[in-house]
Amino acid sequence: HTEDELSRSSHSNAGKSLVNGIKTNPASNSPKSGLPVPMGPPVYVDLAYIPNHCSGKNTDPEFFKRVRASYYVVSGNDAANGEPSRAVLDALLEGKSQWGENLQVTLIPTHDTEVTREWYQQTHEKQQELNIMVLASSSTVVMQDESFPACKIEF
């Protein structure tokens, strides 16, 4: 390559950044900006933390189609900011329904919120159909003089 070609190629990437590993234009703040997501096989993991405190800003059914976890941690306790997002919880159901295999999935909410309680009650049959178990976020461990919220995960 000539010096001019190298200079042009480095400038062509100057205004781009990575969002979830995908090059994006900084004018777009969202990976849902219409850019094609490269196709590939799903990724299987033991534990996945749902991004952005379970906000609907960057997690959709495509996330759950491609990131297949035995356990998903759902954080978020800020109803004013839409956390956790009902749309994200529904996206889990939609994404998992397209897996084509009935692997057990456990959803671990870190907070007991009205959104997660309502979602659990309204979609309980669908959860059972898809082999999704939701752990009670009010689980506690009591040790001598103290008690604290806890969740046991076995691999």
How does pLDDT run along the chain (155 residues), one tens digit per residue? 545 544 444 444 444 444 444 444 444 444 444 555 567 899 999 999 887 666 667 788 898 999 999 999 888 777 677 668 889 999 999 999 999 888 999 998 888 888 888 999 999 999 999 999 998 756 666 778 877 666 655 55
Element (H, E) at 142: strand 140-143
* CB 32, CB 58: distance < 8 Å: yes
How would you label 117-150 residue by residue, b for 16+ Cβ within 10 Å and e otherwise? Answer: eebeeebeeebeebebebeebeeeeeeeeeeeee
Give pTM, 2 decimals: 0.65
